Structure 1
Amino acid sequence: MRPDAITPLTFGMLVFDEVEVLDLGGPFEVFSTAGRLARTDEGEPLLRVLTVAPADKLVRARGGLQVTADHTLNEDPSFDVLVIPGGVTTAVEADADVIDWLARRRQTSALTFSICTGAFLLAATGALNGRRATTHWEDQEELARRWPDIHVHTDVRWVDDGDIVTSAGISAGIDASLYIVGRIFGEQLARRTAHQMEYVWAADRTGELADYRV
């Protein structure tokens, strides 16, 4: 399928204090790079990324990186794909406004994508009950213990369960993001994006490397 024959999509990414930098930056880089490479007939990017924070204040990611989000939960911007990065999620899990927003926006999104411990935020909405999922290897046992109805997969880079994709930790989010680009817009664009990023892509969850030839 030709990418320019596909409807442009906006990816809405939650950001919060103690978000893991690469959980945020890796998928953002993949989707925004793909958007630079693939354009509509009018020259607009096929992929756009916007960020959403719980409140109108500076977000401090893990390690001290400061991020200013594009929108707040109250502004509730329109987007097509919900992206939930991980990090230290304890405080966010306890924020009913965030969990309620995630639960509602998951229902209105064509696809929901969690990275690393972002799976815990998604699990808190009930969306993963009875579903297949994964998270960072250090946190898989806790995810299975706290939500026993989730079918937690180990030794995988990501799990595609239809309208929900979950990835393992940190760099696995880049692999899964490229997979999502390929799933929606075609594998050629995913390969071009990885090549543009000079990233060695684990193209499937068994770790087989992608062929960058296009």
Structure 2
Amino acid sequence: MERKRVGIVLFDAVEVLDFCGPYEVFSAVRLDEAKRREEPSPFELLLVAEKSDTVTTSGGMRVTPDATFATCPRLDVLVVPGGWGTRRELGNPAMLQWLRERNAHVETLASVCTGAMLLGSAGLLDGLHATTHWRSLDWMRDSFPAVTVEYGRHVVEDGRVVTSAGISAGIDMALKVVARYHGEEVARATARHMEYPYPDSNARRVPL
């Protein structure tokens, strides 16, 4: 089985569920549910940060990255989470340049919550439709006039770029990415294993 490598970016004050939700989805995927204990996920996961130092999340969880920007191997899927820490990372040239460089080589570029603001600041959403956390929709609209901001959609797919609404929306985004690679049946089985409702509706979950 050829496994796809998924890199999830970490930074201080990253929102926990923004990265743990997609991590759980990708790690829970099985192509044959009957062999769940015997076979691995078709996705290999890496947590990637600028440096090898322990990352402290928005809730105080401490996480050790698997790779740094300098040591990260080739990726097929890149996931950029959000959280309060994105405000600082917006002014981090190393982060924005690494995202630009990786974007040129990945098959799928995805974001959760205000991770989309990092993609926008790196110039990776220009000309595309995108979304973010409901509190940041106007911020996105005002910051990136070349981006069509989708207010009513939970997950926005525009070519190989997938953006999603806030926090828990990253689970739905990851399930949609799973469906892209392995079909809806596998994605639905993954959601069922997680006891999570499959996102049949793509309407935003909270009223604006």
Indicate whether 1:34 and 2:29 are aligned: yes
The alpha-carbon deviation at position 90 of structure 1 amounts to: 1.2
The alpha-carbon deviation at position 37 of structure 1 amounts to: 5.5
1:73 to 66, 69, 76: 69
The alpha-carbon deviation at position 43 of structure 1 amounts to: 4.6
Aligned-residue Cα RMSD (Å) equals 1.9
What one-letter code is carried by the residue in structure 2 that aligns with 1:179? K
Once the two structures are superposed, what CA deviation does each residue of 1:65-113 show, in whole Å capped at 9, x if it has no partner?
1100100111132211111001110111111011100011011000100
1:86 to 82, 85, 95: 82
Residue in 1 that maps onto 2:187? 190
Residue in 1 that maps onto 2:93? 96
Secondary structure of the equivalent of 1:135?
Answer: coil
Residue in 2 that maps onto 1:17? 12
Secondary structure of the equivalent of 1:24?
Answer: helix
| Structure 2 unaligned blocks of 5 or more | none
Residue in 1 that maps onto 2:41? 45
What one-letter code is carried by the residue in structure 2 that aligns with 1:80? D
Once the two structures are superposed, what CA deviation does each residue of 1:107-126 show, in whole Å capped at 9, x if it has no partner?
10001000000000101110
Q: Give the TM-score, by structure 1 length.
A: 0.89
Q: Distance in 2 between matches of 1:95 and 1:183?
A: 32
| Structure 1 unaligned blocks of 5 or more | 209-214
Q: Distance in 2 between matches of 1:207 and 1:145?
A: 20
May I ask how many residue pairs the two structures share in their alignment?
A: 201
What one-letter code is carried by the residue in structure 2 that aligns with 1:55? K
Q: Distance in 2 between matches of 1:28 and 1:36?
A: 17
1:145 to 142, 145, 148: 142
Structure 1 residues 111 and 160: CA distance shift in structure 2, 3 A? same
Q: Which runs of 4+ in 1 moved over 6 A?
A: none
The alpha-carbon deviation at position 204 of structure 1 amounts to: 3.5
What one-letter code is carried by the residue in structure 2 that aligns with 1:141? D
